[in-house]
Amino acid sequence: MPVSFSPAAHDAALEAIFVPFASGELTLPADGRVLFLRARDGFRLREMAQKQWVCEQSFKPFAEALERSGLTVASPGASEPFPMVLVLPPRQRDEARALFAHALQRTSAGGVVLVAVPNAEGAKSAEGDLASLAGPLSHLSKHKCRVFWTQPLGAQLDRELLESWASLDTPRLSPAGYVSRPGLFAWDRVDTASALLAACLPTDLHGSVADLGAGYGYLSAQLLARCPAVSSIDLFEAEARALEPARQNLDRAQREHARAATYALHWHDVTQGLPRRYDAIVSNPPFHQGRADLPELGRAFIDVAADALLPHGRLWLVANRHLPYEATLAARFNEVRTVVTQDGFKVIEARGVRA
C-alpha cells in the first residue's frame, strides 16, 4: 500500500529531545545503553543511536519503521534497567503519567530520564507531572517543544505516586462497560460511529469475519452478540496496547452469548494487506494521524478489504459523512449503498468485489 502511517517527515519533538546533547548539558552513558520509550524513526535518531540502544513502540507502523532503519525494537513491558531513558509521551494525560512511571521504573540508580513534548500538546503539564514523580528537573525550549530531564535518580523519587501512576495503564472496565485503557481510541466510551455501525449490522452475516482497526474489540463483541452464524473473527489492530482489552472483551462476549465462535488478535498494520480472505469485513477505519486528516488511510482500508473478501463477501463500513470514500468503493465493488446517515456519520455496505 502506498499510504504512509509512519512518523511525520518533520518530527519536532524527536529533534528537540537530542538538543541537550548538542548543547553539552547532557552526555550519553559511558556504556552507550539507552532505552527510548515511544521512539519514532527519524534522521536525528538514526544519527544518534548506537547499537546498545533499545526502542519500545506499541504502534505497529512506527515499530516497523524503526526496524527498517536497523534499530532494535523490544516489546513493551520488559524490566531491564538503563542508565538513560528517553521518552516521547502521548497526549492523553493518564497514559503519559503511566509512561513516566514506567520510564522511572526502567531507569537505574543515578540514571536520567529525558523527555520532549511539543508546547501545543501540554508540555508544561507534562513537565510538572514528571517533577511530581522525580523531583527538580532541568529544561530548555527548542523547535516549539519543551525538553526536560531529571537529576540523577535517587531518594527524591515519590515511590507511592509512582506505583499509583503505573497502575493507570492497567486495563479496566470503562464507564461504557467495556475493558479499555487510557489513550486508546474512545477508550472510556463507545464512540458514536462504531455504535451506529453496530446497530446496522445485519444478523445474517456469517462465516469468517475480519474487524479492521478493531481497537478494544467493541465491534467484534457486537458481532458475537448480533450475528449467530459468524464462526470466527480476526481482529486487526495497529496499537498493541489495545489487544489485551480486546481479548478480555471478546472472552466476556463469548461467555455472555454462549458463543462457540473463535477469535484471533493480530498486531498488524492493515494498510499492508491481510493474510487470508473473509466472508465479511467490518471497519471503523482511522482517518487522521495527530491533527491531520488523512482520508487516504480509510481508502487504503477499503482497498485491503476488497482484496481480502471472498467473491460473495460484504464490507460494512462507517465513516465521517464528509470523507470522500465513494469513488474508491465504486471502483472496487459492484454494489455500494449508504445504509444510514446520522449524527455526522454514514454507514455503507459494499458487496460484489470487482475482479
How far apart CA 58 and CA 75 sit, in angstroms, is 8
pLDDT at res. 51: 93
Q: List the end-to-end C-alpha distance of the chain, in Å, as a whole number.
A: 18
Domain-ending residue, one of 135, 154, 169: 169
- Are both 248 and 145 inside the same structural domain? no
Q: Which of 140, 169, 198 is the last residue of a domain?
A: 169
Q: Are residues 46 and 135 in the same domain?
A: yes
pLDDT for the residue numbered 16: 97
Predicted local distance difference test score (pLDDT) of residue 7: 59
Q: What is the tens place of the pLDDT at every residue in 134-164?
A: 999 999 999 999 999 999 988 788 999 999 9
Task: Please tell me whether residues 112 and 196 are part of one structural domain.
Answer: no
Same domain, yes or no: 186 and 246? yes
Asked whether residue 140 falls in the same domain as residue 218, the answer is: no
Are 52 and 32 in contact, with CB atoms under 8 Å apart? Answer: yes
With respect to residue 330, please indicate whether it lies within any of the assigned structural domains: yes
**162 plus 22 within the same structural domain:** yes
Rounded CA-CA distance 30/13 in Å is 25
Answer yes or no: do 62 and 80 share one domain.
yes
Range of the domain at 229: 172-353
CA distance 269 to 65: 12
pLDDT for res 296: 87
Residue 351 · residue 314 · CB < 8 Å: yes
- pTM comes to 0.93
Query: Is 4 a member of any domain?
Result: no
CB 278 within 8 A of CB 208: yes
CATH of residue 75? 3.40.50.150
Looking at the fold, whether 160 and 38 belong to one and the same domain comes out as: yes
Looking at the fold, whether 160 and 179 belong to one and the same domain comes out as: no
Query: Locate cell 531529571: which residue?
Result: 150
State which of 169, 193, 221 marks the end of a domain: 169
- Give the number of domains in the chain: 2
In this structure, is residue 1 part of a structural domain? no
Q: Are residues 186 and 329 in the same domain?
A: yes
| Structural domain includes residue 31 | yes
Q: Which regions of the chain are under pLDDT 50?
A: 1-2, 291-292
pLDDT given for residue 98 in this prediction: 98
Find out whether 238 and 267 touch, Cβ atoms under 8 Å.
yes
